[in-house]
Structures are given as structure tokens and as C-alpha cells.
Amino acid sequence: MAQAGYEVLLADKSTFPSDVLSTHNFFGNSLAMLREMGVLDRLLQTDTPLYKRAVVQFEDAVIDGEFPEVDGETECLCMRRVHLDRLLFEHASVQARVTSIEGFRVTDVIREGNAVIGIEGVRRDGEKGRFTSRLVVGADGRNSTLRQRANSARILAVPTDFASYVGYFSGYEQSGDLHAELYKIKDKIGIVFPTSDNLYVVGVMFPLDDQDWSRRFSLSPEAAMRDLIDSGFAGSPLPDRLRKARLEGKVRGLRGYDNDWYQGMGEGWALVGDAFSFKDPAVGQGMQDALYSAYLLTDVLSRYDDWGAHWEEMAQTYQSLMEAKMMSRFHMACQFTKNVPFTPEQRAVNRLIAAHPEAARSFLGIYNHANEPSDFERLIGSLLAMNESG
């Protein structure tokens, strides 16, 4: 927004470095946006590897391929949030027209009639503060205070069936080129990304209603994670790799969340990122959508000089741009978030993707936005038709 010419006050309740529970992978489309924001080179100076390959195992189908090029980028980057959030905050803070405050927790909005005209909050030392502005943007995550105080309407909500736990490991070894790993075997999901400081971030998901695993993760998260990977992902390379690896820090978890979609703008306020829509982490769309929404919001704001006279029109435009960009993958997340086994037809499609490199590329292209899910479906349709006629 500052680069588009607006005066910005950036307030965050955290002080940096701060850690956020996430597996934090960026696909190539995000790298392109970070490059345009002028921060990518700085991120790449940290000890975080780039990679191009993904190995996805859906039951017995193993899809092994490289992400297609998107917006001139072929690589992915999974940077630990202790580094990423600090560097992004620093980069934003030194932009012209930006004033930043760390450790300031927004507690409420200031209103004039129906319109939001500012924020109030509290610093870590207890001092209260109030700021007024033409627009307040809630970029404050999944449990957004701004969203709640602005009375944004919840449009869609699909609760997950899964609990998620995440840990960082050293000494984890993959074979071949560095790659992302995704497993869905029966009712368990596993995710691995190579990340900063020679570590791998490993995430597991199991059904929320599985009381045995819930109890074990509550009592001893590391032992539970290792046991779950040993038993749940037998037959994949994951158990052996994890057995040789050492946990660094703690295994942390998130028990239950909704995939949700909100009203993104009203008089004097707007939402971006998870505050607008949270999606199941298994589809890895959250971080890029946080970037996209900042771009889309700036684009909409830049189309109007007199915001006061156009709130409704701007809100409709913003909502429909967000829908066009994200809704198909939001629905993908809503499917993935339900604990339902693959149907026989889905298993056949999974095997087809595994057998055809162009299908694997198009499948991975859904994740990095190189192509749309509908392009992938057309390709699968033609491969199925060829199989039937052959």
C-alpha cells in the first residue's frame, strides 16, 4: 500500500522475531510477489533453501514431479516464521510513508456512526493508544480482532475434521533433490518441507475425534508424533527419515479450526489474509493468499479517489476479485479438511496423475497457480478418454 502511495501505520501486537504456528511454504507465485515487493533478495540471504520438486503420496499412488513455472519463478521457499516475519516487518518499516509500531495490540475500532475511522489498542507497557485513519486493514490472522470488532459477516464456514501438529527436525534426510512431501494415507495426513537453518518442518494431521491420538499428543507430543508417523505412514519413506532425525524445539498443535470466508470490506475497514479467509493448511494456500489479498485490496483502493462515496462499490469489487482468485482453492481446502477416504474414482485419477508427468505438472500447478483446477480437470478428462479408447 505504501508503494502505491498511501501513508501507512503498521501496528503488530508481536515484537520481532516472533514465531507463528505454521508450516509456512511459499510456492513460486508468492516468490514473484515478494520479488515485486522488493524483499525477496533479503529473504534469500537467510539460510533457507529453494527447491522445485514435490513428492505426493495419496494411498498407493506416488506423484513425483516439479512445479511448473509461474510468473517467471520455478522454485519454492519455506522460511521459518522467526526469520520471515521479522524480515517482512523490517522491510515494510523502512518503506517511505510507513510508520511501524511493534508490541501494540489492537483491542477495538473507533467508529463515527457506522463507519470505522480508526483503532485503539494497548502497548506492552500498558499504555493505551488511539489512531484515526481513512481505512483500517485487518491483517491480524485467523482469530482477527478487527474482523470481530468491525462486525464482518461470516459467509462460509466448514469445520475441519483434523487436529494438526508441527515440529522442526535436524538430521532429516531426503533422497534426490530437496522436495516438499505430502502424504494422505487412510485418515492421516503428513507434510514435510525443507526449511531454514538446515531444518525440516514436519506436520501431521489426524482426526479430531480420535481420542486415543488426542490423548497421546496431549501427554507427550514428540513421542506421539513419532508413533503416529511409524504406524500411519508405514510403506512410505517418512518413518525411516523421521527415526534418524532429531526434534529441535517443541511439537506444537492446533486442535480444530474452520475453513472460513468473510465479508472483506465495509465502511472504513477491510480484511486481508487469514482474517478474510482461513484454509486448511494441507492445501498450503494461506501465505500466498495473504499476499494476493494485499495486492487486490491496493488495486481496488487505487481505482477510487473518493472512498467515502464508494464504499459499497469498492466492497463489492474487492469481494468478487477475492472470490475469482481464491474460491476454487477454498473449496479444495473444504474437501481436504473432511476425513473421507478417496473414492474409487479419485484413486484412479491419483494413479493417472502418478503415471503421467504432464498430469503431475498440472496437479502441482494448481498449488502454485500456474494453472486453474479446471485446466487440470480437462487434462484428466482427456487422459481418461484416451485410456478408455486405447
Ligand X SMILES: Cc1cc2nc3c(=O)[nH]c(=O)nc-3n(C[C@H](O)[C@H](O)[C@H](O)COP(=O)(O)OP(=O)(O)OC[C@H]3O[C@@H](n4cnc5c(N)ncnc54)[C@H](O)[C@@H]3O)c2cc1C
Selected binder of ligand X within 33, 56, 79, 139 (CB under 6 A): 139
Closest to ligand X by CB, 104 vs 233, is 104
Selected binder of ligand X within 73, 75, 140, 267 (CB under 6 A): 140
Of 135-143, 262-270, 318-326, 380-388, the window that binds ligand X (rule: CB under 6 A) is: 135-143
- 26-65 footprint of ligand X as x/- string (CB under 6 A): ----------------------------------------
Cα separation values, 224 from 173, 189, 359, Å: 21, 14, 36
Q: Which amino acid, 324? A: A
Selected binder of ligand X within 1, 8, 10, 24 (CB under 6 A): 24
Q: How far is the CB of 211 from ligand X (least distance, A)?
A: 21
> What is d(CA 322, CA 267) in angstroms, rounded to the nearest whole number?
18
The answer to whether residue 284 forms part of the interface with ligand X (CB under 6 A) is yes
> What is d(CA 370, CA 26) in angstroms, rounded to the nearest whole number?
14
Spell 253-284 as b/e; 16+ CB within 10 A means b.
Answer: bbeebbbbbbbbbbbbbbbbbbbbbbbbbbbb
Closest to ligand X by CB, 200 vs 379, is 200
Selected binder of ligand X within 273, 314, 356, 362 (CB under 6 A): 273
The answer to whether residue 214 forms part of the interface with ligand X (CB under 6 A) is no
Give the DSSP H or E segment for 249: strand 246-255
Bridge partner list, 101: 11
Query: With CB under 6 A, what is the number of residues at the site for ligand X?
Result: 32
The answer to whether residue 368 forms part of the interface with ligand X (CB under 6 A) is no
Closest to ligand X by CB, 264 vs 286, is 286
The answer to whether residue 164 forms part of the interface with ligand X (CB under 6 A) is yes
237-266 binders of ligand X (CB under 6 A): 254
Selected binder of ligand X within 3, 14, 46, 346 (CB under 6 A): 14
> What is d(CA 246, CA 82) in angstroms, rounded to the nearest whole number?
20
Selected binder of ligand X within 274, 334, 336, 353 (CB under 6 A): 274
Alpha helices in the chain, H assignment, sequence order:
28-36, 40-44, 81-93, 145-149, 211-219, 221-232, 238-243, 286-302, 311-336, 344-355, 357-368, 373-389
> What is d(CA 367, CA 350) in angstroms, rounded to the nearest whole number?
16
Selected binder of ligand X within 68, 221, 232, 286 (CB under 6 A): 286
Backbone angle region of 360, left / alpha / beta, with phi > 0 → left and psi within -120 to 50 → alpha: alpha
| Nearest Cα to Cα of residue 138 among 49, 54, 263, 226 | 263
Take residue 93 and report the three cell numbers written for it.
Answer: 518499516
The answer to whether residue 23 forms part of the interface with ligand X (CB under 6 A) is yes
Selected binder of ligand X within 76, 84, 109, 287 (CB under 6 A): 287
Closest to ligand X by CB, 271 vs 360, is 271
Residues that bind ligand X (CB under 6 A): 11-14, 20-25, 85, 105-106, 139-142, 145, 164, 166, 203, 254, 273-275, 281, 284-288, 290
